[in-house]
Structure 1
Amino acid sequence: MTDKVPVLVTGGAGYIGSHAVLALLDAGWPVAVIDNLTTGFRFAVPDDVPFYQGDIEDGELLARIFAEQGTRAIMHFAGSIVVPESVENPLKYYHNNTVKSRALIAAAVAAGAPHFIFSSTAATYGIPEVSPVSEDTPQSPINPYGWSKLMTERMLADTAFAHPLNYCALRYFNVAGADPQGRSGQSTAGATHLIKVAVEAALGKRGHVAVYGTDYGTPDGTGVRDYIHVSDLAAAHVLALEALIAEPERSLTMNCGYGRGFSVLEVLDAVDRVTNLTIERRIEGRRAGDPDSLVSDNARIKATLPWVPRHDDLETIVGHALQWERKLGEIRSRT
């Protein structure tokens, strides 16, 4: 039985971070959250979870949190995630994702918090020449977002070599869906994720869904992506933490995906089926840097962790996203 040590979740008021908080609570872990609420939402953090509004660059605040909470593990989700914005404003991404991560890692080392789980991304692979993509695929990011995350992976590897810290970098593919119990979901206004955009369109919050390119080397010509349910992703974080505690000399790097891809049109068809509506699709030109297909080879995570996805079904993912989108309208009408 793994010792359930106190965990600090950075960015715990955001989309993926809030689901990680729920997964930890459901499994009986002591949890605290730090979030500056730039893109997160206070309502996403349960009332009984210690919450610190502040920035992970604030070393004094981090030292106080570690002391007050007895923090022994960090799950790091705080950061900026919009790829086109990273191209337009690279210094913001190198600051938020790299410089601030360095401050967080330094605070963890200073406090003697030995376990660190990092929210990385398949964007570190850039446009891979092969698909599915394994962890050994060369990492060659094509945008500042991907580079900012890869730099943090490097910092963790070097820090783990020099200090008593082990880490797990989880490289996400396309995260979607919402908590099946309706406790959290993707709440960001103007989000760019396809399933979020599509359920907004189904509920009349958008007039149409743009399809960027129909000339890819895929069966229907639209880009293929590996969509993973956010609750399955959160469950992987808890199992990864257990693995780090069980073997403190070992660090891990693993893809998080289902190993199966769906095209843009297949996703929109699934939303049509779940909603009994027909979403308007507008064909637009390709976006720079979009690969034809980006699908995970998830053999390593399945061999390393006892991870069994529970929501590996596209219509289930869409259904939970739709359920949350309806609830989000109620939350916003009350605030």
Structure 2
Amino acid sequence: MKRFLAYTLALGLFAGPAAAQDKPVELLNVSYDIARELFAQINPAFIADWKAKTGQTVDVKQSHAGTSRQARAILEGLQADVVTFNQVLDVQILHDRGNLVAADWQKRLPNNASPYYSLPAFLVRKGNPKKVKDWSDLVRADVQSVFPNPKTSGNARYTYLAAYGFALEQNKGDQEKAKAFVKTLLGNVPVFDTGGRGSTTTFVEREIGDVLITFEAETNGIKREYGDKGFELVTPSVSLLAEFPVSVVDKVAERKGTQAVAKGYLDYLYSEAGQEILAKHFNRVHHPKVKEKYKAQFPDLRLITVEQVFGGWEKANKDHFAEGGILDQVFVKR
């Protein structure tokens, strides 16, 4: 009996390390609100690729919400290994307030750590009954726009800044006229959801509003998914470059020992296979071969940037989104 117990114990001791090695490495990707379907495609492809390259099994978990809310959750303890956000400020705050991300995070990966990009675009109802063509139509009294709250959504901040930039151009740089323009635009929004997916639900399912303003990738996805509703895409004459910054959350990855797989996950987004998936979901990509393959699905338009018009994200945040900034001044109180 004693020999049997000793033999069993020996087997258990032998099996322990092997079992530990076979246990999947868990990775948490904390992402923006409307990226659920995108990463549902990316994650299994990455898992298979990583397994083939390293022999290691990975289990990728997802968390989705408005990126400002997600950033706050990470600062409050959400154990994100990586973030795949839609706005620079919400990654930068992880460094500024928590030192969770390295100071040089934008220099560690190509294209300012943005593997893909998009822009605010319009989705209108069948036949475009309000004849919406450009930003100027969104301040008409008979047009209701739907987009999230710029205080909680990176998606909505792009919309706000794109509209503000358009108004500056139309009014030869007159700041007061630009403020008046966005004040009217915000006043025409019937419901401010906290994130992009909530606004999609408001427009598509609740049938509120005349035009949904969201990332071009989302407008295409909705049109494809709800083909029976006859939604139509409208690309404005000018829009704002929307970068999608990504980073390893260094402090968390170091503590969990996931640095290598976290970096590999972000590198996969830049690979040809990863860029292919991104483009299939109507995101604009940088890989030359994939970009050429999908160029027909992306209308040409002029893109302005936060750097050109607003002096960079730090200044835009201070001027527009900080307490008492221009957004607070023009936001219509409900």
- TM, length-normalised to structure 2: 0.31
Q: Which has the higher contact order (CA 8 A, sep 6+)?
A: 2
The structure with more helix, counted as a fraction of residues: 2
- TM, length-normalised to structure 1: 0.31
